[in-house]
Structure 1
Amino acid sequence: MDTLDSPHPLMLALLLGLAPMAAGAQAAASGADALQSQVEGLLKQQNLPQASAGDGNQRQPWRVEVTLGQLDPRLKLAPCDKVKAYLPDNAQLWGKTRVGLRCEQGPVRWNVYWPVTVKVWGKALVAAVPLRPGNTVAQADVVVGEVDLAASGSPALVRVADIVGRTVVRPLEAGQSVRQDDVKSRRWFAIGDPVRLNVRGEGFLVASEGVALSPGDEGRCVRVRMDNGRVLCGQPVGERLVEVTL
């Protein structure tokens, strides 16, 4: 059973099997320590985020910090003989996430989530000066600094070429990480434009041509119909240029 958002203590007692109040405080303290050990043990078995060869950080390994939050102190869990820690489906060790804990053997089966924050420090672009909506970014407006790459759902920009000439859509202070959502996407071509298509794979590159079936907006998949009628989805990377990675 999943925990509810800020439930009334009495409801928690009824749902999870509240122990007698006199012994409950001591049991909760020791129980929390045991659960935390379970969470820590699971995290030690996981592969932490690492810079890949394609992100420009291969010479600068990421520095990862994992911080455990706390369960709701009002939460009183029924005794359990066997607790299992697990990563929920689709959970990633990136930014704000959680580790699941479920009672697999006990008088009351329960399931709770322990909050976890994973900070991933790496090199990316930061504003060198305050940038305001409507500003066009020049090369002198950004510098490389260490930022928490996982602090936002929007990817941090790492290459100067990805931002110079683009328009700022959100205010940025000096020293603040520049994210993909902070600047306006570029449209490299329109529907119906002829485009060049580079298909990349391990150890090979095939160049072809086609026609855009959707706008070539930066960061979005564009559908391209090739001369043989086949339709591929690729990333717009330049003026009438699309790349597909196999």
Structure 2
Amino acid sequence: MRPTLHRLLAACGWALALLLPGLGTAHANNQTDELEKTARAWLQPALEAAIPKDEALPLRTEVVMGALDARLRLAPCARVEPHLPAGSRLWGRSRIGLRCVEGPSRWNVFVPVTVKAFGPAWVIKRPVDAGATLTQEDAELAEVDWAASPATVLARPEMWIGQETAFALTPGLAIRQNMVRPTKAFAAGDQVRVNSSGTGFSISVTGLALTAGLVGQSARIRLPGGRVVTGLVQEDQTVEMAL
């Protein structure tokens, strides 16, 4: 009887040794599954608040959720709080934080997420040299992923037509804010014509530019009498001053 009992206990021991790792893995899988469900439930309303709203330019979003490491072992937690890590946003490749705020030990883990936002944008259709002035003929409308780059899409033609390219642009690129800069109308030290008008009158004088003049932006000009004024730089290399 004793040898038989000994063999039985040994067999039970082996069974437990094989079973316990499986139980631990199952517990870990259940834990990560619940955390990922929490992240998904938080994501949708957060995404609706984060995506730019424009009825004329609606964006169609697609989300690819990553997964936590299935081997993750975390202390029990009564309340898990989803959050967006500081300095990040739900745009392109990002992550959702999950932190324990009620439990024997505090922890913080992150679920990777990729947010795509498809919508109409102006796309370069022919090579454009660096420093060239963009025209309507340089681009065409197409659907692109706005979130493929952190730089803002310039979705309306008036936002980029007449702007200089910051670097050479190749076909297929969506026009974004980092690709263009205002055209330089004059340099600091140049003689500039300053115009001003009102009801029944107009004034035009020549002054000295104290700052470089970029079309659509403000520039400071010293008038002949020494007075310094600020005006809006025009495409014809003049400055319009409001009285």
Which TM-score applies when normalising by structure 2? 0.62
Task: Please give the root-mean-square deviation of Cα atoms over the aligned residues, in Å.
Answer: 4.1
Instruction: Give the CA deviation at 1:172.
Output: 1.8
Q: Pairwise mapping of residues 131-210 of structure 1 onto structure 2 (< 5 A)?
A: 131=128, 137-161=134-158, 162-163=160-161, 166-167=164-165, 169-173=167-171, 175-183=172-180, 185-191=182-188
Unaligned runs of 5+ in 2: 1-19, 197-206
Q: Aligned with 2:164: secondary structure?
A: coil
Tell me which of the two structures has the higher relative contact order, counting C-alpha pairs closer than 8 angstroms and 6 or more residues apart. Answer: 1
Q: Give 3-state SS (helix, strand or coil) of 1:43's partner.
A: helix
1:38 aligns with: 38
Distance 2:79 2:229 in 1: 52
Contact 1:217/1:236 (CA < 8 Å) preserved in 2? Answer: yes
Alignment partner of 2:56 out of 40, 47, 59: 59
Distance in 2 separating the partners of 1:156 and 1:59: 14
Higher helix share: 2
Q: Structure 1's 224 and 123: CA in aligned 2 closer, same or farther, altered over 3 A?
A: farther
| Matched residue type, 1:113 | F
- Alpha-carbon deviation of 1:85? 0.9
Deviations 1:108-137 (A, max 9, x none): 311122222222222211122345657664
Give 1:17-32 correspondences, 5 Å limit: 22-32=22-32
Partner of 1:91, secondary structure, is: coil
CA offset at residue 147 of structure 1?
1.3
- Rounded to whole Å, the distance in 1 between the matches of 2:215 and 2:39 is 39
Where does the alignment leave 5 or more consecutive residues of structure 1 unmatched?
A: 1-19, 53-57, 198-209
TM-score by length of 1: 0.62
Aligned to 1:76: 73
Please tell me whether Structure 1 or Structure 2 has the larger radius of gyration of its CA atoms.
2
Deviation, 1:78, is 2.9
Alpha-carbon shift at residue 188 of structure 1 (Å): 4.0
Do structure 1's residue 114 and structure 2's residue 111 form an aligned pair? Answer: yes
For this pair of structures, how many residues does the alignment match?
A: 202
Tell me the percent identity. Answer: 36
Relative to structure 1, is the Cα distance of residues 133 and 106 closer, same or farther in structure 2, using a 3 angstrom cutoff? same
